[in-house]
Structures are given as structure tokens and as C-alpha cells.
């Protein structure tokens, strides 16, 4: 399990990189065009994208789970920390749906 100090350090690093250019995070549009996804996220949630570009809106409370911490760490290792564009995870949408369902069930 990741320690709280390591998690805070990682969150500060993401925050500092996100605000270096003071730009908003761009959200890629879905290729199908049939989905009506809002580009706004309600307070208390964050957006991640799977490797096949499916959008997931996750409650901030899920960041306490070890699996999301590992997925974010793997994403940082593979894609690096960029200040442009959304957070992309290394898993596909099926795995991401499974992870979200497991975390929600506890």
C-alpha cells in the first residue's frame, strides 16, 4: 500500500505540472459521435481515460483504494507527467469497468 506521504507528494507533482501553463485539460471527443458526454465534471469527481479512449468519471473517494494508486503510478511510468491532455491509464475499458465495480462494492 502506498504511504500517505508518497501519495501527497505524487498529487503535488501532478498539480504543479497541470498548473505550469495555466491551461485547462483538453478532453478528446469520442470517435463515434453518438455518445452525449458532457465535458464538465461534477465537484468531487475526476476524469480518466482508458487505453481505448473511453472516458470514466470517478469519485475522488476512490483514490484511497490501492488499485487506483497503482494504476496512476503505472500511467505515470508509461506516459510520464504531462501538463496537456487528460490522464490516460494503461488498462482497457473492460478492465477499468471491472476495477470501478470492485472498488464500489468494497
87 burial level (CB within 10 Å; 0-12, 13-18, 19+) = buried
Q: How far apart are CA 56 and CA 26, in angstroms?
A: 15
Question: What distances in angstroms separate CA 81 from CA 5, 9, 50, one per listed residue?
Answer: 19, 13, 16
Domain that holds residue 71: 43-105
1 is a domain residue: no
97 is a domain residue: yes
14 is a domain residue: no
Mode of pairing for the β-strands spanning 55-59 and 45-49: antiparallel
Q: How far apart are CA 3 and CA 73, in angstroms?
A: 13
17 is a domain residue: no
Number of domains in the chain: 1
Q: Render each residue's pLDDT in the chain as its tens digit; 106 residues.
A: 677 777 777 777 776 666 554 444 444 454 444 344 556 778 889 888 988 889 999 899 888 889 888 988 988 888 887 777 788 888 888 989 998 888 888 7
37 is a domain residue: no
- Nearest residue to 97 via CA among 32, 30, 48, 60: 48
64 is a domain residue: yes
33 is a domain residue: no
Amino acid at each position: 500500500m502506498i504511504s500517505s506521504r508518497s501519495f501527497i507528494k505524487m498529487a503535488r507533482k501532478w498539480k504543479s505540472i497541470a498548473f505550469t501553463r495555466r491551461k485547462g485539460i483538453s478532453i478528446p471527443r469520442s470517435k463515434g459521435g453518438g455518445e452525449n458526454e458532457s465535458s464538465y465534471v461534477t465537484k468531487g469527481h475526476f476524469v480518466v481515460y482508458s487505453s481505448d479512449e473511453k472516458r470514466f468519471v470517478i469519485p475522488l473517494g476512490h483514490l484511497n483504494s490501492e488499485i487506483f494508486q497503482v494504476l496512476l503510478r503505472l500511467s505515470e511510468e508509461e506516459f510520464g507527467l504531462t501538463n496537456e491532455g487528460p490522464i490516460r491509464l494503461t488498462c482497457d475499458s473492460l478492465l477499468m469497468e471491472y476495477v470501478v465495480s470492485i472498488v464500489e462494492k468494497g
